[in-house]
Amino acid sequence: MAAFSTRRLSSYMVLGIPIAWIIIFMLVPYGVLLTYSFWVKKYPLFVPAFQFGNYITVFTDPQYLRVLLRTLKISALVSLASLLLAYPFAYFLVFRLKNQSLRVWLYMAVIAPLWVSYLLRAYTWKSILGTQGVLNSFLMSTGITTEPSTIFLYNQSAMVVTLTYIFIPFMVMPIYAALEKIPNNLSEASADLGMGPIRTFLRITLPLSLPGIVAGFTLTFCLSFGDFIAPFLVGGPDGLLVANVIVSQFGAALNWPLGSALSVVMLFIVLAIITASDRLERFGQQGH
């Protein structure tokens, strides 16, 4: 009986510690954030209330709508660019590269930047795209331009390039894992049935790799959607994202209720994207 009680207590402790961690460090902060989003700012601080004025401001004020739409657009472009670069690379590693050691080295070359500081990776592209950067130096040395150009930095294009470089490993990893799980005998059977490489890819490889594509797209989109450091470094005024507005509301503007409302809206958008990707992945699995 004592041994049974000890095992039961041990099981409760094993479950209780992670549950307590989730409650204290996730649910409680989210609850505080949600509570603040209904409060009202009254100079110099804010007072408790229950009203939807902050959410109305988010969805009716053109400046906040513009930032939300810009964030969605840049996140979508980053995810699309990452997919277009990552899928052919992962496909080449899995199906075309026969040298196993070289495959591992190339895969690690993509994953290795994750071990480097985020700021260092962002500053790398600032040094490449800047007026005194590598790109301008190359253009001037070849005579294409006579003076440094400012069109490469502090715009949305620089944002897309930088964020694609930073987050592309999160697209490569799930796609590579999904492609590696596809049995080789399926492609061989397809060839025996007279299907060419393109039809084999469209009918077999692409559908079976859909879970990896969905997972990679979701990861890349959500990470880009919540980024706030890269806009400061390479985005400029036209490249600020919703996370930068939230930082300013909690900082210089000292408008925690509005910042909380923006955070809650951002959280629900991310949850909606994750839910949609999960349903899409389940639909793809049911289809096969």
Structure tokens at 16: 């209780």
| CB-facing half-sphere around the CA of 188: CA atoms within 13 A | 3
Enumerate the domain spans of the chain: 1-36, 51-117+168-287
Are 262 and 246 contacting, i.e. CB atoms less than 8 angstroms apart?
yes
| Backbone φ and ψ of 245, nearest 5° | -65, -40
Q: Which amino acid is at 231?
A: P
Are 149 and 139 contacting, i.e. CB atoms less than 8 angstroms apart?
yes
Which pTM does this prediction carry? 0.89
Instruction: Provide the residue-wise pLDDT of the chain in tens; the chain has 288 residues.
Output: 555 466 666 767 777 788 888 889 889 999 999 999 999 988 777 888 889 999 999 999 999 999 999 999 999 999 999 999 999 999 999 988 888 899 999 999 999 988 888 888 888 888 888 888 888 888 888 888 778 787 888 888 999 999 999 999 999 999 999 999 988 888 777 777 777 788 888 888 898 899 999 999 999 999 999 998 888 888 887 788 999 999 999 988 889 999 999 999 999 999 999 999 888 877 766 655
d(C-alpha 243, C-alpha 227), whole Å: 6
d(C-alpha 83, C-alpha 12), whole Å: 43
Which residue in 110, 90, 226, 230 sits closest to 168, CA to CA? 110
Fold annotation for 51-117+168-287: MetI-like fold (1.10.3720)
